[in-house]
Amino acid sequence: MRVAMYYSNKKVRTEKMPVPKIKRGEILMEVKASGICGSDVMEWYRAHKVPLVLGHEVAGRIASVAKGVRKYKVGERIIAAHHVPCMRCHYCRAGHHTVCDTLRSTNFYPGGFSEFIRLPAINVKYGVFRIPKNVSYEEATFAEPAGCVLRGQRLAGTQKGIVFIVGAGVSGMLHLEVARLHKAKCIVVADVVEKKLKMAKRFGADGVINAAKTKNIPERLKKITGGRLANVVILCASAKPALRAALGSVDRGGTVLIFSAAEKNAAMPLSVNDIFWRTEVKILSSYAAGPREHIQALRLLSEKKINVSGMITHRLPLTEAEKGFKLVADGRNSLKVIIEP
């Protein structure tokens, strides 16, 4: 089979690997669509692991099932979670499934940017979900990133307040869509790329801020909202100025959700007294999506409550995966890039 072997954001080669062999309890999945995630282009995070096959936002059909698989059959359309929790440990019982040790050690093989992937038995048990009939393979690839967003906003509590989203990439757009579903009072989006801000307006943002042209982002935010800072600030950008803007834009009693990874070795640029003392501000993080969020995301996709099709800017064959990685790494001329093996 063909795979897109990742060496760097500028070097992704089409190579051949044997089709994975499955054993008891496992599924062989034929990949029909796989999205490139912003985390896929974090070179510093995986430089010591290359070469490898990336891709975790996958949708496809079951090509074969091994003995012991009774719940699924050949031909069914599915998505598969690349990491799955054990559902039994201290973290899982406390509702923190995405920091479970098992979740951090599980994966499917070799990666979503390939023609076939092997789903281990534990992934089959806790991380395989049928795609609703009215959801396309392309749309289904959004179940994982949308699930991450749903988890983050559940933890942050965005309902009916002022939401400020820093970063208008695909994560920011999904947060915009979900905040709108949660009946947020006012949603403002900031970015440095004007094209993405125009898209944010199309997706329903009440206001946008060009961070590259704005000296005082918190003051600009207050002008849009009628004098208030944000109840919830969602950080979907990795640059240090974005982190400073997020921390400076949260209202007293509000929450800052650190949703995206920062630049390598980035530190919090804050004053403890200014940010926390007498403000009751909360800073929290959210990582990945559990089974609950995958199911919820698929339901929202089926009900057409999230406009993910409008976020797809590029559809590329596996042989053009390198182009896709360059587009996502650059970030100025793409929103969502889908690889279709």
Phi-psi map region of 157: left, alpha, beta (phi>0 left; psi -120 to 50 alpha) = left
Could you give the CA distance from residue 263 to residue 8 in angstroms, rounded to a whole number? Answer: 17
Predicted pLDDT at 262: 81
Do residues 54 and 114 touch, judged by C-beta distance below 8 A?
no
Q: What is the mean pLDDT of residues 227-242?
A: 94
Phi and psi at residue 292, in whole multiples of 5°?
-55, -45
pLDDT in tens, 52-95: 999 999 999 999 999 999 999 999 999 999 999 999 999 999 99
Q: Which CATH architecture has domain 2-142+308-340?
A: Alpha-Beta Complex (3.90)
CATH class of the region 148-285: alpha beta
Range with the lowest mean pLDDT among 53-67, 249-263, 315-329? 249-263
- Indicate the range of 48-57, 155-164, 169-178, 222-231 predicted with least confidence: 155-164
The pLDDT score that the predictor gives to residue 283 is 93
For residue 159, pLDDT over 80 is answered with no
Go through 64-82 and write b for each residue having 16 or more CB atoms within 10 A of its CB, e for each that does not.
ebbeebeebeeebbbbbbb
Q: Tell me the average pLDDT across 307-318.
A: 95
Three-class SS string for 19-82?
CCCCCCCCEEEEEEEEECCHHHHCHHHHCCCCCEECCCEEEEEEEEECCCCCCCCCCCEEEECC
pLDDT tens column, 174-205: 999 999 999 999 999 999 999 999 999 999 99
Q: Are strands 162-166 and 52-53 parallel, antiparallel or unpaired?
A: unpaired
Which is more confident, 279 or 211? 211
Helical segments of 203-271, H only: 217-225, 240-248
Model pTM greater than 0.75? Answer: yes
| Domain boundaries of the chain, sorted by first residue | 2-142+308-340, 148-285
Q: What is the mean pLDDT of residues 224-236?
A: 97
pLDDT-based confidence at residue 266 (cuts at 50, 70, 90)? confident
Region for 225 from its dihedrals, namely left if φ exceeds 0, alpha if ψ lies in -120 to 50, beta otherwise: alpha
Structural contact between residues 10 and 326, judged by C-beta atoms closer than 8 angstroms: yes
Longest dimension (CA), the chain: 62
Give pLDDT tens digits for 104-151.
999 999 999 999 999 999 999 999 999 999 999 999 999 999 999 999
Which range among 19-23, 272-276, 287-291 shows the weakest confidence by mean pLDDT?
272-276
Q: Measure the CA–CA gap between 134 and 129, rounded to whole angstroms.
A: 15
Contact in structure between 156 and 257 (CB atoms under 8 Å) = yes
Considering the chain, what is the average pLDDT of its residues? 95
Q: What is the DSSP secondary structure assignment for residue 161, as one 8-state letter?
A: S
DSSP state of 261: -
